[in-house]
Each structure stands twice: as structure tokens, then as C-alpha cells.
Amino acid sequence: MCGILAVLGCVDCSQSKRSRILQLSTRLRHRGPDWSGLHSEEDCFLAHQRLAIVDPASGDQPLYNEDKTIIVTVNGEIYNHKLLREQLKSHKFNTGSDCDVIAHLYEEHGEEFVHMLDGMFSFVLLDTRDNSYIAARDAIGITPLYIGWGLDGSVWFASEMKALSDDCEQFMTFLPGHIYSSKNGGLRRWYNPPWFSERVPSTPYDPLVLRHAFEKAVIKRLMTDVPFGVLLSGGLDSSLVASVASRHLIDSEAYCQWGSQLHTFCVGLKGSPDLVAAKEVADYLGTRHHEFYFTVQEGIDALEEVIYHTETYDVTTIRASTPMFLMSRKIKSLGVKMVLSGEGSDEIFGGYLYFHKAPNKEEFHEETCRKIKALHLFDCLRANKSTSAWGLEARVPFLDKEFINVAMSIDPKWKMIQHDTGRIEKWVLRNAFDDDEKPYLPKHILYRQKEQFSDGVGYSWIDGLKDHANKQVTDSMLTNANFIYPENTPATKEAYYYRTIFEKFFPKNAARLTVPGGPSVACSTAKAVEWDASWSKNLDPSGRAALGVHTAAYKDK
């Protein structure tokens, strides 16, 4: 991950303005500690903080075309860059960076090239020939991007809100799968997959097609010139990522530099479910496994930093981001700069425990679509910002465009939980990797019940957070919360506590509006809360709020 900041159409182009842009870009240096770059062109500034993963020696940014009339600042990875280079043989590339193809694709195709990129990315491109520019974000929003507007008419883009919130009158989350064009004005969607309409698909389930699509997604993400590993919680998703990566590592380019033994990492309170399961998976796969422990107090002590870096007050995100934030610091201290992670599977396959109550396949499918569309506000935000806080890059193979298309084309009747036939959540994925001849995982791991990350690190983690919040927030404060926080009014003391910290760092109303709200149970959308009448009395994002489903569920209030 890198950090980008671009300011276009400034009235003030003085040295003091340049100094201000440089100062603001340093707020992103945690994302890219390896190099800083700034290009200024008349009334435009493009700044970059680089985390070097591919071509560390020569891939510094901003990047240019041959005559330097096109300038690009990019955050992300383009996995098909070698294939794209083959299509651009008439062009001369200045670096070996995977992102170097973007300027040249623009030369060849104009603004209509973004769909050709296979990867995770946010970028701003300046064409000095007519002083126009575009900005774009990847299909799902794996990499973060914000857009803002200054009083002087300038347009700002930044990887994190903290780099533009002080200088912009208004700002918002840049929508995933969209492009902004100064020529055409405003945002338009470039990513239009069949599932986006939420129309129910009818393709029969083929386990081998699904398996091969996921293996391909993992393999392409082994593209790296630096040490890497896998975040392994011992749950289904991260265990499959680790299994596939371990199986195919010897055939990858990474093997030549870093050897055949995969490194895996897990975090939790001592004795937590994840630590136990992850150790078993690591032993089974033969990985070099690293266990990290934290205490409830250490997590509480880190909350302010976590909220500053994740830029949210969403309860679920903060609960899960804190252990991930603490683990990322430990991983970076080992010299590792990139990890694979298992985000996205639960949204695609209906893996959250509340999906047990989906009334029919139509509502099941519509909910998965809603969840994928909102990933950039929740799990993608957490995975990216918790790791990049320490200069660590997280890659998510489940959110591969091609894999999503395959998985979301399956008739949702195959994804539905069926207790009478023994189909638990994510059965289609589990079954696809249930290979008796060459097992990917032990059976009981392959069919382990879903644990949300904030639960799996240790049930006492969430309980400890609630206890701490109860000591910080009085009954009177919560009673009057709607007067203090009329937008997204916190409904619990825990939510109120996180909101006070967030407001300290990001006091503008525009910042508050970047965080979603509404009722949720076990990470559901507000619509899915309607599936079970008892849930409305127990609104908590923990998986244990799925009453009658989770084996360690909360008691019905």
C-alpha cells in the first residue's frame, strides 16, 4: 500500500502551497515509508508516499509516460501488468513497477481503460497536454480513496481522510468502481458486473470451477519482490488462502527469492479460538507460524490510534481493527511487507451466521449483493488501514474480480443454509475444497463454524470493550446522545465512546457522513434484521448476537 494526495486546479500555486501539500502528504507516510515524491505542474500537485513491493529499486512515483506529459500517482497493485506490457510493446517503460502501465494505457485508450486493470488500485492521472485529469478506484474499494473540494475551486484526492479534511470545505468517500473525469465532470461507474443489478442468477454450482477460480486468484497475488506471508486465523477463509498459497508457492516467482516455506501470522488473547485453530492449520500445512498475543488492556490502550488510522466510528470495524492493528506492527518488525488475507468470502457466500435465517434464495442473494457493495466501508477499510498504519500491504484474493463473477453467478439455492441436509454456511466453498485424495485442510477446520474476527481473537475482548465503555459513558450521556450526535446517533455506550474519539480527530460533519449507520445484528445490513423478530431486541454486530445459531450466542434479552 502507498499513500497518494493530489490537488488539482489550485488558485494559489506558490512555494508556500507546495510546502503545505508536502506537509499534508506526510500524514500518509505510515502507508509508504520507503519513498516520497511530489510533482507540481502549474495549478496541480501530485504527491506520493511509497511502500515498495514490486521493483523496489526503480519504481518510485509519480510515474510518467515517455515524454512526461502524463503523470500518475498510484496506490495499489496491478496483477496483470506483464500481460498489459505485451499489449503496449511500442511504449518505453521507465520502471519495472506494475503500476507503470497506467500512463501508457491512457495514451492508447484515453479514459476508457480502467476495466483492463486487474488488481487493487486508486490513482490520479494528470494529462498536461490539455490540463485534464482523471481519478479512479478499484472495483470493490480494496484501496481507500477520498475526494474533496476546496473553497478556491480546487479538487482534492487522498488515500486517507486526514490528508484533506483540514483544507477541504466538503469531502466524501470516492465510490469504488468509479472514475472521475475533469472533462466530463463528476463520477461515473466503470465497473458494471452482472451481479450488481441484484438479479438472481441461475448458473448451476460446479465445485471445480469455483476451486480453480480461487486458486488462480491466490496465485496471481504471489507477485512480490519483498518478504510476505498469510494472516491465518484458523477459520475457513484464511485457512484456504494459506493452503492454496502454500501449495502453489514453489511454482511462483516469490519462491526464487523467499523459499518454499510460507510464513503465517495469528493474533489473539491467550487461549482464544483463533490461536488454537490457526496453530493446527499451520502444523498441517507446514508453515513457519508466528503467534502474537495481546491483552484486553493493550487493545483498549490502542483504541485512539486505531480510530485515527481507520477513520471510522463503526463498532464492528473498531473491534476487529484493533487486534489486526497490533498484529501488523509485530509483522512489520519481522521485515515482512505484504500479507494475504481472507476478507470478502462471507459477503460473497453468505457466511455470516445471520444468513441462517434468510427466508428464500432471492433475499439471500440480494443481501450478498448489498454486503459486497458496502465492503469498502467495512472489511476493506479495516484490512487496508489497520495494516497500512505500519507500512504493511494486505491483499485479498476472495475479492478478485474474476472470482467474484464466478461465485456470484451461482444459483443462490446452493448457498442457502440447509439444516436437514447438513449444509452449513459457505457450504459451496467448503465442498469445493473437500478433496479426499489431496486434502487442502483437515475436515473439522474445513467445516468449522464461522467466527467473526473480533470474536475469534477471544470472546473476552468484546466483553472487555463493553465494560470499559460503560465506565467512560454515563447513562445520562447516552440518553442525550441524539442531541450531541444527531447524525448516526450512537445506540450503545460502546458506540458513544468510539464516536467521542472519532470527533476529536475528525470534527467536520463531512467526516461523520463517511461512516455508515443503521441497525445491524451479527454484521447484517438493516434490511436483513427483519429476518428474525428477536434480533431487534439484541442489536449487536458480534456473531454471538445471532441467537439460536452461534454455539456461544448471547442470551436472549
- In the annotated binding site for L-glutamine, the residues are 98
Dihedral over Cα of 440, 442, 447, 452: its sign: negative
Dihedral over Cα of 86, 339, 240, 299: its sign: negative
Strand duo 44-50 + 3-8: pairing: antiparallel
Residue with cell 495514451: 107
Under 8 Å between Cβ of 335 and 525: no
Under 8 Å between Cβ of 122 and 143: yes
| Per annotation, catalytic residue among 2, 10, 168, 369 | 2
Nearest residue to 264 (alpha-carbon basis) of 288, 296, 300, 234: 288
What single string gives the DSSP state of each residue in 308-337?
HHHT---HHHHHHHHHHHHHHHHHHHTT--
Q: Round to whole Å and give the CA distance between 286 and 187.
A: 47
3-state secondary structure of 239: helix
Beta bridge partners, 266, equal: 291
159 DSSP assignment: S
The secondary structure of 389-408, three-state, reads: CCCCEEECHHHCHHHHHHHH
Nearest residue to 539 (alpha-carbon basis) of 344, 306, 354: 354
Helix (H) or strand (E) holding 6: strand 3-8
Binding residues for ATP: 231, 267, 341-342
467 DSSP assignment: H
CA distances from 272 to 193, 349, 446, 456, 459 (A): 39, 25, 19, 7, 8
Helix (H) or strand (E) holding 267: strand 263-268
Extract the C-alpha cell encoding 504. Answer: 476529536
Is residue 256 among the annotated active site residues? no
Under 8 Å between Cβ of 385 and 311: yes
HSE-up (13 A, CA, CB side) for residue 490:
27
Binding residues: 98, 231, 267, 341-342
Query: Which residues are part of the catalytic machinery?
Result: 2
